[in-house]
Amino acid sequence: MAIEASPRPHGLRLRAFATHELDQALDALGWRGSRIHAGVHLARKNLRRARATLALGGPALGPGAALIDRELRKLNDGLSALRDAHALVETFDRLLRHHNDTEVRALLARARRRAATARAQAAREARLDDPDLGARRSLLRVLRAGLRALPWAGLQPEHWREAVVVSLARVARAAENARRSGDDEDWHGWRRRARRLSQQQRALKAAKLGRDAPKFDKHQIERLGEAQDLNLLLDHCGKRSLFGKQDRTALRRFAQAELARSRVRIAGGGGGGAD
């Protein structure tokens, strides 16, 4: 008589998702030439998704999980300069698509050219510091092995359900803080919390645990990301800006007005939680 195979533990499905994300990051960090920017952008997404999946296990994955999460965060942070250089160019591309005013478009086009030059310089510096990002990829292979060695098979529904409840509460608190204070860091915190919630939803659905996945407004998360891009633009409008004095003054006024409008729309659209 044939013996039916026992179903694969749900925790191992989550491990498979996290492993796949790290595999994707390894591949993306190996992209060459002008593709380095898109590769870094994708790899950082993959690393955040792997970390979000680790958070679903919480303490049940043991002390090693915290160590791996910390190193993944450091690796991700180490790629932020490359990512920011690319994000600034993408921000100008998005703004150019949505603005028809001739004077504004001329300003944005000039600034984009400067940003593209800075992006190329950031790539050259990264290659000199870590050719082909080889050191980072070697570290990631070690972290991948460590992640797979964690006790994923022992995870139970209460572990990831509790993690989702915690994430939902953090998003709600972050939204309240941002709306109340108007502080840039609080808005950035709201965006980070909402993005983590989205990544945990993705992981649970991939592991066929969609019934436990959180509900939220995806458009709200996209709007929070666009607002953060405007903050990035404002960060480049200081005295040490790569833009000329007149352009950075004009860009600052433009970005401040855009950001104010964006935040009004976001604040009126819910907290990024359930639809």
* pLDDT at residue 7, as a whole number: 66
Comparing 45 with 8, which gets the higher pLDDT? 45
Cα–Cα distances in angstroms (integers) from residue 163 to residues 16, 82, 207, 212, in the given order: 19, 31, 15, 10
In a domain, 112, yes or no: yes
CATH classification at residue 225? 1.40.20.10
Q: What is the pLDDT of residues 17-66, one digit of tens each?
A: 999 999 999 999 999 888 999 999 999 999 999 999 999 999 999 999 99
> pTM for the full model?
0.90
- Compute the distance between CA of residue 149 and CA of residue 9 in angstroms, rounded to an integer: 15
Phi, psi of 268 (to 5 degrees): -90, 5
- Compute the distance between CA of residue 167 and CA of residue 56 in angstroms, rounded to an integer: 9
Q: What is the DSSP letter of 273?
A: S
- In a 13 Å sphere around the CA of 186, the CA atoms on its Cβ side amount to 14
Q: What is the pLDDT of residues 95-104, one digit of tens each?
A: 999 999 999 9
The pLDDT of residue 270 is above 80: no
Q: 3-class DSSP state for residue 36?
A: helix
36-57 and 184-206 helices, crossing angle to 10°: 80
- Compute the distance between CA of residue 157 and CA of residue 207 in angstroms, rounded to an integer: 12
Q: What is the DSSP letter of 238?
A: S
Contact 181, 34 (CB under 8 A): no
68-82, 184-198, 233-247, 260-274: segment of lowest average pLDDT: 260-274
In a domain, 5, yes or no: no
In a domain, 79, yes or no: yes
In a domain, 2, yes or no: no
In a domain, 75, yes or no: yes
In a domain, 14, yes or no: yes
What is the mean pLDDT of the segment spanning 220-232?
93
- Compute the distance between CA of residue 98 and CA of residue 197 in angstroms, rounded to an integer: 28
Query: Which range marks the domain in which residue 15 is found?
Result: 10-267
The pLDDT of residue 274 is above 80: no
Structurally, the chain folds into a number of domains equal to: 1
In a domain, 275, yes or no: no
* pLDDT at residue 6, as a whole number: 52
What is the mean pLDDT of the segment spanning 236-241?
89
In a domain, 107, yes or no: yes
- The total of other beta-carbon atoms located within 10 Å of residue 199's CB is 21
Full DSSP string of 242-270? SS-HHHHHHHHHHHHHHHHHHHHHHHTT-
